Structure 1
Amino acid sequence: MTRLTTYNPNRTVSELQREVDSLFDRFFGNASDDNTTWMPSTDLVEYPDRFELQLDVPGIPKEDLNISVQNRTLTISGLRSREQSSEDEELVRVERHVGRFRRSFTLPETVNPDAIEANCENGVLTLALPKTEESAPKMIDVQ
């Protein structure tokens, strides 16, 4: 007797994803380990007068965020700690990353590193990277 099964490409992709996740966990360590490095999601937006860098850092107090600029390299680092659980509480699944993170970005020549401003609100760290006046478009009159 021949048994028919329905082909489900999503099942195949899901199985492959689990295998890849398992391989990475074995090679790099479990992502839920407190010593694991992680990277917050980041958006970069360009405006006529500035760039704006936005990083998702929910649960990280601003005191645990460090921002520095050296040789046109902007470095943002921080630490997210796991909340202390009670003795009778058992973690069943952990998906939120904890531990240290570090992101570095090379600033373009058009950014004034002395005028960078940072603001953290609702779990989003926003850095305003103002452009230099020399980089602003100049209008040329036709003679």
Structure 2
Amino acid sequence: MSLMPWFGGGRGGMDPFSSDLWDPLGASWPWDGGRRGSEGGSRDDATAMARTNVDWHENDKEHIFSAEIPGVRKEDVKVEVEDGNVLKISGEKTREEEHKDDAWNRVERSFGSFMRRFRLPENAKADGIRCTMQDGVLRVVVPKDEQAQKQRNVRSIDIA
């Protein structure tokens, strides 16, 4: 189960119905209220980083998380386990260089921090997690605990 993504900032970061999270027409309208000025619009930066896409699939032996984080160096990514059962993936994409004297026509690349959390299932073996990062994709492998799978005791209850 995925917990709600967090991307910092003000109240909009906590409101799932905030227009910051989903603005299908904002990028194409010329009258956007100055949101995307020559500075690039920090509101949109946070929103774009919040959309860090993560796939989660599993096989008999492990859970596999794949996160798309292009342009983020592996040194700027953290993978942690909180409370023994919550996988936390976080990081920050920083601006490479400033061109203060340049006149910007369009800024579409996003910068900012991101964080995703996933509640791990009971059969996850958190102390055996492995991570790799290649071509902008972070891969987190969480092995399954075979004992936890075998200990599941299911019994049928008669319906009266």
Residue 88 (structure 2) pairs with residue 81 (structure 1): no
Residue of 120, 123, 131 corresponding to 1:110: 123
TM-score by structure 1 length? 0.68
Match of 1:124 in 2: 137
Question: Aligned equivalents of 1:92 and 1:46: distance in 2?
Answer: 44
Whether the aligned pair in 2 keeps the contact of 1:32 and 1:94 (CA below 8 Å) is no
Residue of 24, 27, 34 corresponding to 1:17: 24
Question: Aligned equivalents of 1:52 and 1:69: distance in 2?
Answer: 15
Based on CA coordinates, which of the two structures has the bigger radius of gyration?
A: 1
CA distances 1:88-122 after superposition (whole Å, capped 9, x unpaired): 54332222221000111100001100000000011
- 1:92 alignment partner, SS class: coil
Unaligned 5+ runs, structure 2: 1-22, 36-41, 151-160
Unaligned 5+ runs, structure 1: 1-15, 137-143
**Alpha-carbon shift at residue 53 of structure 1 (Å):** 0.1
**Alpha-carbon shift at residue 19 of structure 1 (Å):** 6.2
**Alpha-carbon shift at residue 87 of structure 1 (Å):** 4.7
Question: Aligned equivalents of 2:68 and 2:48: distance in 1?
Answer: 17
Which runs of structure 2 are paired with 1:1-143 in the superposition (5 Å)? 17-18=24-25, 30-32=43-45, 38-71=50-83, 72-87=85-100, 89-134=102-147, 135=149
TM-score by structure 2 length? 0.62
Letter in 2 for 1:18: L
**Alpha-carbon shift at residue 36 of structure 1 (Å):** 7.8
CA distances 1:61-103 after superposition (whole Å, capped 9, x unpaired): 1111111102211111100012214455433222222100011
Letter in 1 for 2:130: E
Question: Aligned equivalents of 1:91 and 1:31: distance in 2?
Answer: 16
Match of 1:140 in 2: none
Question: Aligned equivalents of 1:93 and 1:32: distance in 2?
Answer: 13
> Aligned pair in 2 of structure 1 residues 123, 17: CA closer, same or farther (>3 Å)?
closer
